[in-house]
Amino acid sequence: MFDAPVETTISVPHSREAEEAVIGSVLIAPDLFPVLGLTAGQFYIQRLGMIWDAYARLEQRHMPIDFLTVAEELNDMGRLEEIGGPAYLTALLNQVPTTLHAEGYAEIIKAHAIRRTLLSAANEIARMAFDTSLDANDLLAQSDSALRKVGQSAEQKISTSHEIAGEIYDEMLERGKQLASGKPLVFDSIATGLMDVDRLLDGGLQPERLYIVAGRPGQGKTSWMISTTRHQVVKLGKRVAIFSLEMSKKQLMRRFLAQDAEINASKLTNGVLGPEDWEPFIKAVGRMGNSRLYLDDSPSLTPTSLRAKCHQLERTYGLDLVVVDYLQLMGAGGGMRFQNREQEVAYCSRELKLLARELRVPVLAAAQLSRAAEVRADHEPQLSDLRESGAIENDADAVTFIWRPDQSVNISRFKVGKNRDGQTGIADLLFNAPLTRFESVTSRQVDLNQ
């Protein structure tokens, strides 16, 4: 069902000539249909959208597109008389001067469709702006989301296997040339700074992927993420945004400074530094202060507000990594209704994965585990222990766990339980409790498939 043109004193953006020319061109040259990249919803004129829909249905069934098949398909759809009958199809055929400019006409149709979508988004934003019951921050987040959807709707290009295979070939060829010339290979992954963890994760955190680090309370999820983030912003110069729903910005920064200055974290918490601590503390303040680390401790973070803040950071400073601590503390936001908490967590999980794809950066999120691991003799977590939603496992590209098998020693275990494009395994890490910092140790990797 297509929307009828809206009556208005201002002409709604569209081009009858371009829409008719495209429909007629495909009747003459059916091979144009998959090339033009249009959808029925991009046509403003209702009956032309119906005809394009008929083309799509025929293409889906691998049937030829011509005058007879299109007329029959429209008849089966109950639309033939509504579009003006076979006579209208004949008229469209006869008024096409040439099919050579069909791609140009298609671009005109797409441009007008974007303008109409933008007008619709602007009307929705105006409606929300007059609704005084909406929180101002939610209004900004929803407005940003509405405008981004307009941009996403414009991305209609579908790549061929030839194009993608060619891109991969070029990448591998370039790496081979770099290796042959003695230059170090440059990868898109962001190293965690923990050698054994990076080995398990194929070099580190990869763009467009959602990583989950899960554990029970007090097992070091936040400390592990701070350890890796500090390496990334101080050692690698990366741009990292941390969204903490559990700790305040000052609490997080005290952790960063304790790790970087190698000062007992309790000294920063209590506000008492010894004479020997001041020099490394001042240097750490300088390093962290000059890093490109962005902190947000909004307690009511939602996927919509997270997305808006990340896009703002991306536009202003650029962004290499997003960290969320932790997933189950997120809420879906006002206006969203779910039958249970599991569905709400599943929604948040899926939105984090989509955010990674949108920003083309890794998203690293902590997650809480159920008590099931505590009753096992070895305390080793399993994927089934993920609390409140099995969707977390489905959405994540990699699910990792952190725990301490023996609370009397400072050896923690880091386990990759799921890795969509790589290996699984276990690495031992040293937890430096006074600094709340994780460090590499000579590790023993275990192949979980054995």
pLDDT of residue 443: 41
- Residue 73 banded pLDDT, cuts 50, 70, 90: very high
Q: Looking at residues 52-64, what average pLDDT do you find?
A: 89
Token pair of 426 as six digits? 């276990």
User: Which residues, listed in sequence order, are joined to residue 214 by a DSSP beta bridge?
Assistant: 367, 401
pLDDT tens profile 301-334:
888 778 878 888 888 888 999 999 888 888 777 6
Sign of the dihedral defined by the CA atoms of residues 95, 18, 24, 40, in that order: negative
Mean pLDDT, rounded, of the chain: 82
pLDDT of residue 377: 66
Q: Can you say whether residue 366 is alpha, beta or left, with left for phi > 0 and alpha for psi between -120 and 50 degrees? A: beta
pLDDT at 237 over 70: yes
- Residue 362 banded pLDDT, cuts 50, 70, 90: very high
Q: Is 322 helix (H, G, I), strand (E, B) or coil?
A: strand
Residue among 188, 157, 160 nearest 175 (CA): 188
Alpha-carbon dihedral 220, 358, 123, 8, rounded to 10 degrees: -170
pLDDT at 30 over 50: yes
pLDDT of residue 49: 92
pLDDT tens profile 103-122:
888 889 988 988 888 888 88
pLDDT of residue 52: 92
Distance (Å, whole) CA 389 – CA 328? 9
Least confident of 76-85, 102-111, 229-238, 418-427: 418-427
Reported pTM: 0.65
pLDDT at 274 over 50: yes
If you average pLDDT over each of 74-78, 162-166, 251-255, 412-416, which comes out highest?
74-78
Distance (Å, whole) CA 110 – CA 119? 14
- Residue 48 banded pLDDT, cuts 50, 70, 90: very high
Distance (Å, whole) CA 148 – CA 201? 31
Token pair of 92 as six digits? 């469209």
Quick one: what percent of the chain has pLDDT higher than 70?
88
CA distance readout (Å), 7 to 4, 10, 67, 115, 121 = 9, 9, 32, 17, 18
β-strand pairing of 411-419 with 425-432? antiparallel
Q: Is 240 helix (H, G, I), strand (E, B) or coil?
A: strand
